Amino acid sequence: MEKIRALIVDDEPLAREGMRLHLGEHSDIEVIGECADGASAITAIRNLVPDLVFLDVQMSELDGFGVLRELEGEDLPAIVFVTAYDQFALQAFEAAALDYLLKPLDPERLAGTLERARVQIEGRSRREQSEQILSLLSHFGAQPRFIERLVTRSDGRIRIIRVDDIDYIEAAGNYAKIHVSGKMHLVREGMNSLEAKLDGRRFLRIHRSVIVRIDRIRELESLYQGDYVVVLHDGVRLTTGRKYREAIQEFIRGS
C-alpha cells in the first residue's frame, strides 16, 4: 500500500514532536517534513507536494489561514487544521467539510481524522479541496475570530487557560508570562503575535512588554508627560509606555 506523505506545520517544537510521535503509530503515514513557520510551510507544500498537511492555525507572523491565502489558486493537499479555537469558530471548519484537531491532541480523534483523510485523498480531487478551502477563508475573512484559550506546557503537564481568566500578559524574551489569579504560566510566543490573536475590545496593550485585560483595570494614576500607572483589581501596578499613549488615551475617552 502506498504511504500517505504528510507535512507537519506548527510553530511549537513540542507540538511538532507530539504530532510526529502520534503519526508514527500509523504505518501508512510517512512524515516527509516539518515546518516551524508559515513562510517555510508555503515553500514545503510547493516543493514537497505532500498528500496531507497538519496545519496549525495560530502561528506567529504568518498563520495557517495566511499560508492558505498565499497558496490560493494552486492545487492543495488534504488539510487537517490543528487549532485551539472555540466551538463557535469550529463550525466554520465543519461547514466547509474540512477536518480539524483540537489542542491538546486526542489519539482517538487523530485516528478518526486519519481515516477520513484516507478516504478524502483517494476520492476527492485537489480542485474540490481548493474550493472548500476558499469557502473557509471567505468565512474567516468576513468574521475574524480571536482565540478563547491558550495552551501551556510545564512539568510534563498541559494546561488550558481561558482568555477570560487572564489578568495581564508580560513579555519574557521569546516567551510570554500569562498571569491568572496570582499564578504565572509561560507560553512560547511573542507579544506581537499574542496581541494579534486577542480581541482588542477585551485587551489593551499598555507597554511593549505588557498587555492587560481591560475589565481587570481598576484605575489609572497619572504620571509625568502623559504616562500612567495602571492599577488592576488585585492591586498589581503596571506602568504604561510612551509608544502606547495614543491607545491609552483612546481607551480613556471611550471608557
- Give the pLDDT confidence of 178-203 residue by residue, as tens digits: 999 999 999 888 888 888 888 888 99
CA atoms of 222 and 165, how far apart (whole Å) = 27
Q: Is the peptide bond before 50 cis (omega within 30 degrees of 0)?
A: no
pLDDT given for residue 129 in this prediction: 66
More confident residue, 253 or 215: 215
Count other Cβ atoms within 10 Å, centred on residue 251: 17
Mean predicted confidence (pLDDT) in 96-106: 78
The residues facing 54 across adjacent strands are 8, 80
Domains and CATH numbers, the chain: 4-142 (3.40.50.2300), 163-254 (2.40.50.1020)
Mean predicted confidence (pLDDT) in 151-175: 87
Mean predicted confidence (pLDDT) in 115-133: 73
Supply angle C-alpha 53, 57, 62, rounded to 5: 100
Residue 38 carries which DSSP code? H
pLDDT given for residue 199 in this prediction: 87
162 pLDDT above the threshold of 50: yes
Are the C-beta atoms of residues 77 and 51 closer than 8 Å to each other?
Answer: yes
Percent of the chain topping pLDDT 70:
86
pLDDT given for residue 218 in this prediction: 95
- Which has the minimum average pLDDT: 5-19, 123-137, 152-166, 232-246? 123-137
- Mean residue pLDDT across the chain: 85
Count other Cβ atoms within 10 Å, centred on residue 24: 10
Confidence at 88, pLDDT banded by 50, 70, 90: very low
207 pLDDT above the threshold of 80: yes
Mean predicted confidence (pLDDT) in 25-52: 95
CA nearest neighbour of 101 among 10, 165, 189, 13: 10
Confidence at 53, pLDDT banded by 50, 70, 90: very high
Confidence at 142, pLDDT banded by 50, 70, 90: very low
Are the C-beta atoms of residues 6 and 31 closer than 8 Å to each other?
Answer: yes
Count other Cβ atoms within 10 Å, centred on residue 194: 21
Residue 152 half-sphere exposure toward CB, CA atoms < 13 A? 18
Confidence at 90, pLDDT banded by 50, 70, 90: low
CA atoms of 5 and 48, how far apart (whole Å) = 9
pLDDT given for residue 97 in this prediction: 53
Mean predicted confidence (pLDDT) in 124-148: 64
CA atoms of 255 and 253, how far apart (whole Å) = 6
CA nearest neighbour of 173 among 190, 196, 150, 197: 190
CA atoms of 225 and 73, how far apart (whole Å) = 52
The residues facing 168 across adjacent strands are 179, 212
pLDDT given for residue 71 in this prediction: 84
Confidence at 125, pLDDT banded by 50, 70, 90: low
pLDDT given for residue 108 in this prediction: 93
Are the C-beta atoms of residues 198 and 176 closer than 8 Å to each other?
Answer: no
Confidence at 156, pLDDT banded by 50, 70, 90: confident
Mean predicted confidence (pLDDT) in 79-95: 68
More confident residue, 68 or 61: 68
Strand order in the sheet with 78-83: 29-35, 4-9, 52-56, 78-83, 99-102
CA atoms of 185 and 41, how far apart (whole Å) = 29
CA nearest neighbour of 77 among 111, 39, 32, 107: 32
